[in-house]
Structure 1
Amino acid sequence: MMEQVILFTIILGFLITVLISPLFIPFLRRLKFGQSIREEGPKSHQKKTGTPTMGGLMILFSITLSTLIMTAKFQGPTSTTYLLLLVTLGFGLLGFLDDFIKVVMKRNLGLTSLQKLIGQIIISIIFFFVLKQTGFSTEVAIPLTDFSIDLGWGYALFIIFWLVGFSNAVNLTDGLDGLVSGTAAIAFGAFAVLAWSQSLFEVSVFSVAVVGALLGFLVFNAHPAKVFMGDTGSLALGGAIAAIAIMTKFELILLIIGFVFVIETLSVIIQVASFKTTGKRVFKMSPLHHHYELVGWSEWRVVVTFWTVGLLCAILGIYVEVWM
């Protein structure tokens, strides 16, 4: 029965996204919700100007509907499902406001960094206090060891750092057609396996709902993309995967499974630090995917390579926790 629910959730998430996209994409185009491309980005990306963005709304709709339908079909959604949706939709709302300001109000920077950070922190604090009420453990396990560290109230700071950090990391990775759709689908699939191994049914269902929604979105987001997810999608996905890592108590394994997001973020940090301290750039451009474009790789080659790395890291993360 559980296996059937998981399978049907992926299929449902996929079908919802695939069926609504042909209706929603023209709607975005009519509203002129087109992406503006940074002038300092790769010149080859200028032709993408005007491609509809805010496609993350389709992803969020699909995730929410398929999760609620399938959990209700089995045993009914509980606080676990609602908490995951709270984080996902909360971060998605921040991303939507950012996209709306950029695209509709024509303010290219969107929300200020401080406004976005305050919103992310507020959602993270709510997430922590709801978890705290359930007697949730504040210990963080160290992978490959039998040790764990009890952070006590410091776990609140950890949750804020994890949710804010990974929502921004996924956001930074969203720079090529299909890059985040593929890598995130792989990462959520890995956490679905880990949640299943712990009999965390609702977390597993939610995770595969995301996988289904992303695979459906990838039909329209693969190169050449007909729609972008925008910050609406990327911030929501980053917050969601961090929340799943926390709720499965595989917090640090996210560093392995989400290695692509981590290395993309590190490339930006290294680039900025190097330029400010030495005046020199380590990479031709950051985030890292742009560096490979500028050394001559095609966009599709970069994306497939990053997907492959993400898949290998997902397998490694599962192996570390399930079979070691």
Structure 2
Amino acid sequence: MPTPIAVLILSFTITYWLAQGLLRFAPHWGLIDAPGERKPHRVGTPLGGAALVVGSLLPILIFASRGSNLWGWLCGALGVGLLGLWDDRWGVIPRIKLMGQILFALFPIFISGFSINSINIFGMSLELGIFAIPFTLFWIVGITNALNLIDGLDGLAVGAALAASTAIAILSIQSGNGLSLLLAAALFGGAISFLIFNHHPAKLFLGDGGSYYIGFTLALVSLTSLQAERSPLQEVPMLVPVVLLLYPILDTLWAIVRRMKAKKSIFQADQEHLHHQLFKKGWGYLKTIWLFYGVFAVLAVISAALFWVHL
């Protein structure tokens, strides 16, 4: 059996098994999302993102070759997952969460040498120089939070992960990046397993632990999948990952602008995201979620096409 397939199956199985356990025990451990004014659900729902985190991490540890590229992602992804899990259980003020995300984003930068040194947009190359590390941090932390922000509708963030990981797997095969392919396979297996519990009406929510982990992983592999394994990130065709993750990016930018115009903290949650608006205008869950699944699929195809034509 090819290794990526084995990773996908194992990730699916472990995530499913752990999700079943969390469905039963999470409420006893205080891992539950209670109903609230800015929340669409009417009953408390267990938070099971830890199942996805552990379920997709373990197969990588079993099958991936040990190296700095692996450990940089592993330490950072596990770190943001634990940070989110802590927030799910006990709560963390936004400033501390942001500082923690920046700290864990430094792991792949300094352990694995993951740094966006130059980017290519429409054939024009731009050397980032001293701005390489700040830009890399901005990308990782930004995407980590963007996936968290779209996790406001049952199955939405998980659906984004499925579409993105599929595209990343294809890009990894094209570029010959074996580690990125394994990470995409693990994320896909864990996400499709978790969706069994997360589709409407959700039995489990991702919580910050799960959504941070997904965002962090996508931020890295959406770039590493574009180049051969162990190659430095040079001449990154930024349109590819930007298009792939376009909805979370635009949704986050609009949320920041919206809250600043209302003179609110950019960290203050609301129900003004596009998926909330469509749902409240009577689209219903199925119509809304399938619209976004279609958008995610189209963006995945476009991003792969952009890579193939070397934009």
What is the SS of the residue equivalent to 1:148? strand
Q: Which residue number corresponds to residue 110 of structure 2?
A: 129
Q: Which residue number corresponds to residue 229 of structure 2?
A: none
Q: In the superposition, relative to structure 1, how do residues 32 and 127 fare at CA in structure 2: closer, same or farther (>3 Å)?
A: closer
Q: Which residue number corresponds to residue 50 of structure 1?
A: 44
Contact 1:267 1:288 in 2 (8 A): no
How many residues align? The count is 295
Task: Give the partner amino acid of 1:267.
Answer: W
Q: Which residue number corresponds to residue 180 of structure 1?
A: 157
* 1:109-188 superposed matches below 5 A: 110-132=91-113, 138-142=117-121, 144-145=122-123, 147-188=124-165
Contact 1:80 1:203 in 2 (8 A): no
Alpha-carbon offset, residue 61 of structure 1: 0.8
Query: Does 2:253 correspond to 1:259?
Result: no
Q: Which residue number corresponds to residue 82 of structure 1?
A: 71
Q: Partners in 1 of 2:69 and 2:195 — Cα distance?
A: 27
Q: Which residue number corresponds to residue 234 of structure 1?
A: 211
Task: Give the partner amino acid of 1:217.
Answer: F
Q: Which residue number corresponds to residue 27 of structure 1?
A: 25
What is the SS of the residue equivalent to 1:228? coil
Q: In the superposition, relative to structure 1, how do residues 254 and 177 fare at CA in structure 2: closer, same or farther (>3 Å)?
A: same
Task: Give the partner amino acid of 1:38.
Answer: G
Q: Which residue number corresponds to residue 230 of structure 2?
A: none
Q: Partners in 1 of 2:196 and 2:41 — Cα distance?
A: 22
Contact 1:35 1:50 in 2 (8 A): yes
What is the SS of the residue equivalent to 2:46? coil
- Structure 1 stretch displaced more, 17-26 or 161-170: 17-26
Q: In the superposition, relative to structure 1, how do residues 198 and 38 fare at CA in structure 2: closer, same or farther (>3 Å)?
A: same
Alpha-carbon offset, residue 250 of structure 1: 4.9
Contact 2:60 2:186 in 1 (8 A): yes
Deviation string for 1:67-98 (max 9, x for gaps)?
12222xxxx23222222222211111111111
Contact 2:75 2:107 in 1 (8 A): no
Unmatched runs of 5 consecutive residues or more in structure 1 = 102-109, 278-283
Q: Partners in 1 of 2:94 and 2:28 — Cα distance?
A: 29
Alpha-carbon offset, residue 300 of structure 1: 2.5
Query: Does 2:280 correspond to 1:303?
Result: no
Task: Give the partner amino acid of 2:148.
Answer: N
Match among 69, 78, 82 for residue 62 of structure 2: 69
- Structure 1 stretch displaced more, 221-230 or 15-24: 15-24
Q: Partners in 2 of 1:302 and 1:8 — Cα distance?
A: 33
Q: In the superposition, relative to structure 1, how do residues 287 and 320 fare at CA in structure 2: closer, same or farther (>3 Å)?
A: same
What is the SS of the residue equivalent to 1:239? helix
Q: In the superposition, relative to structure 1, how do residues 321 and 46 fare at CA in structure 2: closer, same or farther (>3 Å)?
A: closer
> Normalising by structure 2, what TM-score?
0.88
What is the SS of the residue equivalent to 1:153? helix
- Structure 1 stretch displaced more, 200-209 or 82-91: 82-91
Q: In the superposition, relative to structure 1, how do residues 9 and 160 fare at CA in structure 2: closer, same or farther (>3 Å)?
A: same
Alpha-carbon offset, residue 235 of structure 1: 1.0
* 1:268-287 superposed matches below 5 A: 268-276=255-263, 285-287=271-273
Q: Partners in 1 of 2:237 and 2:68 — Cα distance?
A: 19
> Normalising by structure 1, what TM-score?
0.85
Q: Partners in 2 of 1:241 and 1:37 — Cα distance?
A: 29
Alpha-carbon offset, residue 37 of structure 1: 3.0
What is the SS of the residue equivalent to 1:77? coil
Alpha-carbon offset, residue 46 of structure 1: 3.9
Unmatched runs of 5 consecutive residues or more in structure 2 = 226-235, 265-269
Contact 1:87 1:243 in 2 (8 A): no
Q: Which residue number corresponds to residue 275 of structure 2?
A: 289
Alpha-carbon offset, residue 195 of structure 1: 1.8
Q: Partners in 2 of 1:168 and 1:141 — Cα distance?
A: 24
Q: Partners in 2 of 1:252 and 1:96 — Cα distance?
A: 32
For the aligned residue pairs, the C-alpha RMSD in angstroms reads 2.1
Q: In the superposition, relative to structure 1, how do residues 157 and 313 fare at CA in structure 2: closer, same or farther (>3 Å)?
A: same
Q: Partners in 2 of 1:254 and 1:137 — Cα distance?
A: 12
Alpha-carbon offset, residue 251 of structure 1: 4.3
Contact 2:155 2:200 in 1 (8 A): yes
Contact 1:81 1:206 in 2 (8 A): no
What is the SS of the residue equivalent to 1:319? helix
